[in-house]
Amino acid sequence: MIGADRRGRAAVAVVLHQFRYSHYNDKARWALAWKGVRHERVSHLPGPHGPAIERLSGQRQTPVLVWDGEVIAGSGRIVDAVEARVAGRPLLPADAVARAAVDGWRREFDDTVGPAVRTVVFAAMIDHGGYLCRLFAEGRPVLTRAAYRAIFPLARGRIARANGVTDPDNVRRCAAVVEAAMARVADATAATGQLVGDAFTAADLTAAALLAPLVNPPHADMNRPRPMPPALDELVARWQSHAAGRWVADQYARHRPGG
């Protein structure tokens, strides 16, 4: 991988503050990997992450990228920053019409589809605290994992509210959003295999990353460990066999670098 930016420096200090297995975080990871940007990853535990991320960025959401001292919060802003700083392998088309189409897909998925996917997936996991803690604390020392598991019952309600799973009507609405989005993606990619034109763009990156939790693609950053909770297993099995689910897996296989 490369570490140079448009200003010609060979080595830039880049640190990504992230949640493991998070679809918005994987948008940022994918952009960095696509452009070949060397970076360090700092994984935070959801819940306890808040104060540290707020001190760093003035808000509490991940991902947050620190690039040569500049703090960039939010996956969309990170994608744009990587595109602006690193030449080659463009994610944004030069053509104005194509660029508008890419921006439209990005807005829809960032604002509507991504949150709906999160709600649907968390609804299938929220009653399985052990599995959730295993996801987010993977790779941590034994004592850290045990402590996180111990406090999870106290944080469960907050996590459920933050991910929109306390209201069954909202979960149903989010499921309908997911259904419609998967149908749109299947239709839009049928001709060329990509959402806009025939080249991989930020539209494809955004859609594939934000749909990935439904498909559990075989990439180390997003392939959740098994066994999964039964409801999650059923959800994944359903969408893996859908045309849009196969498209997501194909984007990861063809366009997602290893790191």
Please check whether residue 44 is in contact with residue 18, taking contact to mean a CB–CB distance below 8 angstroms.
Answer: yes
What are the structural domains, with CATH classification, of the chain?
Answer: 14-85 (3.40.30.10), 96-126+163-255 (1.20.1050.10)
Question: Smallest Cα–Cα separation from 57: which of 38, 75, 40?
Answer: 75
pLDDT (tens digit, 9 = 90+) per residue, 79-138? 999 999 999 999 999 999 999 999 999 999 999 999 999 999 999 999 999 999 999 898
Helices H / strands E in the chain, number of each: 11, 4
**Which pLDDT value is given to residue 158?**
86
pTM of the model: 0.93
Q: Which residues contact 56 (CB under 8 A, 6 or more apart)?
A: 17, 64, 66, 71
Q: Report the C-alpha gap between 226 and 46 in whole angstroms.
A: 20
| Beta-bridge partners for 14 | 67
**Which pLDDT value is given to residue 249?**
98
Q: Which residue has the tokens 């893996």?
A: 240
Q: Residue 32 corresponds to which amino acid?
A: L
Q: Report the C-alpha gap between 129 and 112 in whole angstroms.
A: 26
**Which pLDDT value is given to residue 12?**
53
**Which pLDDT value is given to residue 258?**
81
**Which pLDDT value is given to residue 1?**
38
Q: Which residues contact 22 (CB under 8 A, 6 or more apart)?
A: 62, 63
Residues of the chain scoring pLDDT < 70: 1-12, 259
Helix (H, G, I), strand (E, B) or coil at 112: helix
Q: Report the C-alpha gap between 190 and 164 in whole angstroms.
A: 32
**Which pLDDT value is given to residue 15?**
98
